[in-house]
C-alpha cells in the first residue's frame, strides 16, 4: 500500500488538474507510477512528466534500448513497480524475454546487437562504479554518438528519479501482481 492516499481527482487545484489532464491525455494515458506522488508538487510533476515523455518517446534510440536502460535503472534501485511495468513494455519493444529475466535475477543477459550490449555495459558500469572507463565511454560514443549517449544517460537519470519516488512512497505493483525483484 502506498504511503500516500490516492488523490481525489475532483479536488485537484487548477495547476494539478492541468498537469493531470496533460499526463492522462498523453501517450501514458493514466496517472500510474510516480505521477500521483508528483502531483503533490505540480511544478515538479509538470517538468518531470515532460522530461519523461522525451526520455521514453522522444529520443532517437530504438525502443528496446530505451526499455533496457529503464529496466537496468529499475533493477539498480530495486523499484518493484518500475521493473514490473517496464518488463512488459520491454517485451513489446522487442527485448528478448531471456534478457529481461537475466536482468531481473542479476545475471548478465546475452545481447547480440551492439547497441543493446553497449547500453547494458555503459549503464551497469556506471551503476557499479559511479564512473565510466575511457574504453566504455568510447564504445558508447562510437555506438550512439554524442546525442544518443546524452539521451541514454538522461533516461537512466530520469528513471532514477522515478524509482526513488516509487520506493520512497512505496507505490505497489497492481493488486494480483507479484513483485518481480528479490
Range of the domain at 155: 63-168
Q: What is the DSSP letter of 8?
A: -
pLDDT in tens, 138-159: 999 999 999 999 999 999 999 9
Nearest-angstrom CA–CA distance, 4 and 82: 17
Higher pLDDT, 2 or 113: 113
Q: Are residues 126 and 153 in the same domain?
A: yes
- Pull the grid cell for residue 71: 529496466
pLDDT of residue 116: 98
pLDDT(1) > 80:
no
Nearest-angstrom CA–CA distance, 136 and 125: 8
pLDDT in tens, 91-140: 999 999 999 999 999 999 999 999 999 999 999 999 999 999 999 999 99
CATH of the domain at 81: 1.20.1290
pLDDT in tens, 27-66: 887 888 899 999 999 999 999 999 999 999 999 999 999 9
Q: Are residues 155 and 80 in the same domain?
A: yes
Q: Which helix or strand (DSSP H or E) is residue 66 part of?
A: helix 63-77
Q: Are residues 130 and 161 in the same domain?
A: yes
Q: Are residues 71 and 49 in the same domain?
A: no
CB-count burial class (<10 Å; 0-12, 13-18, 19+) for 26: middle
pLDDT of residue 31: 83
pLDDT(2) > 90:
no
Closest Cα to residue 65, out of 25, 141, 18, 118?
A: 118
Cβ-contact 45, 19 below 8 angstroms? yes
Nearest-angstrom CA–CA distance, 107 and 126: 17
The residue-averaged pLDDT of 72-90 equals: 97
pLDDT of residue 16: 95
User: Using DSSP, how many helices (H) and how many strands (E) does the chain show?
Assistant: 8, 0
The residue-averaged pLDDT of 169-180 equals: 96
Q: Are residues 23 and 71 in the same domain?
A: no
Residue 81 is assigned to a structural domain of this protein:
yes
Q: Are residues 17 and 51 in the same domain?
A: yes
Nearest-angstrom CA–CA distance, 75 and 67: 12
Cβ-contact 155, 51 below 8 angstroms? no
Amino acid at each position: 500500500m502506498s504511503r500516500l492516499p490516492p488523490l481525489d481527482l475532483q479536488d485537484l487545484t487548477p495547476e494539478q488538474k492541468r498537469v493531470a489532464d496533460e499526463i492522462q491525455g498523453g501517450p501514458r494515458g493514466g496517472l500510474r507510477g510516480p505521477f500521483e506522488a508528483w502531483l503533490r508538487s505540480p511544478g515538479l510533476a509538470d517538468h518531470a512528466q515532460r522530461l519523461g515523455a522525451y526520455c521514453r518517446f522522444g529520443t532517437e534510440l530504438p525502443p528496446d534500448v530505451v526499455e533496457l536502460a529503464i529496466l537496468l535503472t529499475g533493477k539498480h534501485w530495486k523499484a518493484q513497480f518500475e521493473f514490473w511495468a517496464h518488463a512488459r513494455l520491454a517485451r513489446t519493444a522487442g527485448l528478448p524475454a531471456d534478457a529481461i529475466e537475466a536482468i531481473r535475477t542479476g545475471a548478465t543477459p546475452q545481447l547480440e546487437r551492439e547497441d543493446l550490449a553497449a547500453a547494458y555495459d555503459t549503464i551497469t558500469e556506471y551503476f557499479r562504479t559511479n564512473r565510466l572507463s575511457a574504453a566504455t565511454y568510447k564504445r558508447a560514443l562510437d555506438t550512439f554518438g554524442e546525442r544518443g549517449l546524452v539521451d541514454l544517460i538522461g533516461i537512466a537519470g530520469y528513471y532514477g528519479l522515478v524509482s526513488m519516488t516509487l520506493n520512497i512512497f512505496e507505490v505497489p505493483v497492481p493488486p494480483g501482481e507479484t513483485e518481480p525483484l528479490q
